Structure 1
Amino acid sequence: MTTTAVLPYSVQWDNSHITLLNQQALPAITEFIELHSVDDVYDSILTLKVRGAPAIGLTAAFGVALGAKQETSTDLGEFKKNVKRHIEKLASSRPTAVNLFWALKRMENILLAAQSIATAKEALELEAKAIFAQDEEMCRKIGEHGLSLFSKGDSLLTHCNAGGIATARYGTALAPFHLAKERDFPLKVYACETRPVLQGARLTAWELMQAGVDVTLISDNMAAHTIQQKQINGIIVGADRIAANGDTANKIGTLGLAILAKHYGIPFYVAAPSTTFDLTLESGASIPIEERDGAEITYIQGVRVAPENVNTFNPAFDVTPHHLITSIITENGIITPGFAHNIPNFVK
């Protein structure tokens, strides 16, 4: 199904299916697709039709509810075993974004506690809806805390897409910009294109333009010059996983921006909900980094731009060490360095 209207939510639960904004089609086409099975949900995550750590978790949670709803087994044990297989399949879709595993763990806990198939199906649907509502509220609070760090007229740089289409609503790194627009608080945003999949060009620029935010698109290799020439006041990015010491995995290219921020003496902010923290990992050295098909580098929009048979290296994420991060903005407040000591006060 395709429409030219922009729905208020990029992920919607419609009882018999999930309606999803197809991020792969943007910005040329605003397309909403229907997911009718767990296989559809798995494919949507794997092929980046849905991306952004919170949105991946939300979609997977609804995927579990959908799979449970479609189960026909009348034996509780068999039902639980089948739904557990759905959870395991969805967990295998992408390795880096911790929100996926956080949401699926919540759904699994509900499944295990269920005393009947009927109550399991109802409880799983309610839990997925609760995860969605919680994410929306967390993003709004992140926006409030983030906006408190900026002054009217500031110019900020961002990378990849950590906006409303990557979450339930508002986004993480983009949440302050959406709130600023609502409150007539002028900010100028510079968005890196974010090679090789161009999330900044296709998604962030599109989303902020839809909201009426003053946004300028740059290619990734223009970042240093832009910081220098456009008097950038700070850099703000999202996160896919944050270790106990504050080391942060985010879209490839984030580490380079953190190094530039250090060089130019401007703040480097990470914006993420508490669900993005993985306190089981002592440092970013233990964060698994997804490597994707090299065709993402050798082709752009289906056109080959590199020699045949060239070797490629295509990590989807990098890890920014905590000492390069000025502060981490969460729904519970702003975490400052000594992250290892301070994070437990904000993340339970």
Structure 2
Amino acid sequence: MTLYVWGYLPEYEKERDDILDAVDTVFRSGQLVLGPRVRAFEQEFAAYHGVEHCVGVDNGTNAIVLGLRALGVGAGDEVITVSNTAAPTVLAIDAVGATPVFVDIDPETYLMDVEQVAGVVSDRTRCILPVHLYGQCVDLAPLEAIAAKHGLPILEDCAQAHGARRHGRIAGSTGKAAAFSFYPTKVLGAYGDGGATMTGDAEVAANLRRLRYYGMESQYYVVSTPGYNSRLDEVQAEILRRKLTRLDDYIAKRRAIAARYEQAFADTELVTPRTAPGNDHVYYVYVVRHPRRDKIIEALKARDISLNISYPWPVHTQSGFAHLGYEKGSLPVTEAAADEIFSLPMFPSLSDTDQERVIDTLRAVLATV
């Protein structure tokens, strides 16, 4: 049987009764859209982060789109971010008519190189969008100083960092707003699409609630444009409420799996994840690095172990973003990493037996490539 990098099916088998009960509970309630389960999840998720407001939306991409809109970012503006991210981060910037401005990444953590940000701030910059990638946090302290100097909001992309902390501060609690995805493979995943945008600012929260509901504050009356139909549904909210109570356990299991990988490959050429000082990593993905990456992946695939690359093509090198004008070589650290990184299976329900299979097989392959 092929072993994949994601663990949706093993998790479902383990939690099936609770998930189906959540679905039945909602269906029997007669309230399917923007009802009490969404409100309850918003309150509970905000409380988990120590943030006052949470607005549930339909997916993580729109969590960024609405976050940018609520912060006043629009056509002609610039948003500073990274190219080593999932394309939706940048697509969200494009969706509001703004232009992404990229900085390179740290060569060890693959996170935003915050020392480069001050050098790309212009009179068109309207937002800084750091991506908490792979399960650990960007150092936001330097970005806070830059943001304060130039009057810029920080919108945290937390799609891969549920529960991650830096110096005890949880991802999503520092910026003016923060966007989350609940795609099924996330550290906190729904059983379909889902997202949320959090903020400590009541005015931003009010804007977010209008934006996700056509621009309406009450039914049928639009008070602001543009508005969207971007609502987290009741079924996903109820599932997420239940899974939220298990989030810390999910994280503990991910860390245990990461520790076993670290020990198993310590004597090999495989570069295992580096955790930045002060960070508490949650290992959304376990990203490793090797100069003969492609040969390794093919060899493991032949042995029924399917791995993933996050991400094989930096955003600025993709044809769909050619209009941004970035030449090959413009972000050298990002581009070099994309040629060598790949992810090992990482999910809370990964069994010891399956992990040992990955370790033994990969060690054997490393000895031959």
Structure 2 length normalisation: TM-score?
Answer: 0.30
Larger RCO: Structure 1 or Structure 2 (Cα < 8 Å, ≥ 6 residues apart)?
Answer: 2
Structure 1 length normalisation: TM-score?
Answer: 0.31
